[in-house]
Structures are given as C-alpha cells and as structure tokens.
Amino acid sequence: MTIRQPVAVKVILTEETKQQWLAELRRLINATIAELEELEFRGKQWLREAKEQGEAAIAATEERIESERSQRIERREQMIAQLSQIQQMDIGEEVPNGNVETTVDVKVGDSWDTVLLGSEIILKDNIVVEIRQNGQSITS
C-alpha cells in the first residue's frame, strides 16, 4: 500500500539566508505600514460618502475601517515578532521551513513507528545538502 506522508523541510541558517529573511520581513512590514496609511486615506473618503447615507452607514463604515486596521496592525506585529526571532537565531541552526509531501510504500511487517518518523530535507542556501529518512541520513 502506498500512503502520502509529509516531509519536513529544514534550512541550515547561513548569514546570507538570515539576511534574506530579514530583508523580506522588513519589506513586508513596510508594505503593511503603507497599507495602513492608504487605509487611513481611503477611510476618510469612505466616511465622507457614508455621511450622505446616514448614521447606520457611518457606523458600518467605521466598523469596517477599524476591522481592517486591526488586521493590518496584528499582521505587522506578528512580522515584527518574527523579525526579532530571526535576529536571535544562530548561524548553523536548523530551522523548520515548511513541509512537502511524498508517497511511502507500507507493507505488512513494517514498523509503524519507523514509518511515522518520516523524512526530512535539509537545505543550505537553497541547495539540498542532506535527506533524512526514518531519522537516518541517506544518500542517493
């Protein structure tokens, strides 16, 4: 029987990778700040338009603006926390970086514990440097 199984992808943190991640997060934080500024500008326009439609429209518009503002502020705060975490990471550290999926053949007599150990792909500067299967390094 063939089953699907997640494969953990890990990155060996290098200075280059760390700087790329930090730069990308800073870019995303700045983009979120720009979205907040745009929301402030558009929000004023929406409120002017809502005033023509009455109190209910004003309240709904204010609620919408506040909801969108809160979402962006929360996203920005999460990215700032990620930025701080990355800054504290040590070069050479293995960092989880998502999952991909593979298929595994399972047959009668296989140890389920071994099957559950799964596989890992280890990257360094976007190059696969190691593949681990069932906790053991393998070579192809």
Which sequence spans correspond to the domains of the chain?
2-12+92-138, 15-88
Torsion sign over Cα 71, 77, 83, 88: negative
pLDDT for the residue 119: 87
Nearest to 77 by CA among 140, 25, 18: 25
CA atoms within 13 A on the CB side of 45: 6
CA distance 13 to 31: 25
pTM score of the predicted model: 0.75
pLDDT for the residue 74: 97
pLDDT for the residue 117: 77
pLDDT for the residue 17: 95
Contact 38, 116 (CB under 8 A): no
Query: Could you tell me how far CA 69 lies from the centroid of its own chain?
Result: 21
Question: Average pLDDT by consecutive 10-residue portion of the chain (140 residues)?
Answer: 91 96 97 96 91 89 95 97 96 94 89 81 94 77
